[in-house]
Amino acid sequence: MSPVSELAIDLDRNGGDALHRQIEASIRQRIRSGVLPAGVALPPTRALAADLGVTRGVVVEAYAQLVAEGYLTSRRGGYTQVAAAATSRPFHGPPGCAPSAAFLPRPLTSVWATSTATGQWSFALRSPPT
């Protein structure tokens, strides 16, 4: 069985979700369920794109998002594989949110909102020039 057929990704081309999001969700679910264990190499983007009948850019975007979330590791010119920490990491997001949302960075405003520097900057910006 080829690495591409092992992923068994079914795309809904009439659905509301973008194709790259469907690919991300399918791979993410297989990693979280243990079907794709840590260290397993994923198929090259060109091979997966050809198998799914999508452009390579769609697969590249899906892989890039999963790399950003920590599910995959990738090297330029190398292969993409399941990250070691991806299968052992529990999900700690808010109830009802997608797992990918838990890995989004918090806005910087939360850091500055309690800072005394914020008060000093806002005072300086409101003060008329001398």
Q: For 20-52, what is each residue's pLDDT tens digit?
A: 999 999 999 999 998 999 999 999 999 999 999
- The answer to whether residue 43 sits within a structural domain is yes
Would you say how long the chain is, in residues? 130
Domain count, the chain: 1
Q: How far apart are CA 105 and CA 67, in angstroms?
A: 15
Identify the domain containing residue 70 by its residue range: 3-103
- pLDDT tens figures, 86-108: 655 555 555 555 555 444 444 44
- The answer to whether residue 92 sits within a structural domain is yes
**Global pTM value:** 0.64
68 vs 86: which has the higher pLDDT: 68
Both tokens assigned to 48:
């997966």
The pLDDT of residue 40 is 92
| DSSP for 56-116, written as a single string | HHHHHHHHHHHHHHTSEEE-TTS-EEE-TTTTTPPP-PPTTS-GGGGGSPPPTHHHHTT-H
- The answer to whether residue 115 sits within a structural domain is no
- The answer to whether residue 117 sits within a structural domain is no
The pLDDT of residue 114 is 47
- What is the CATH classification number for the domain harbouring 52? 1.10.10.10
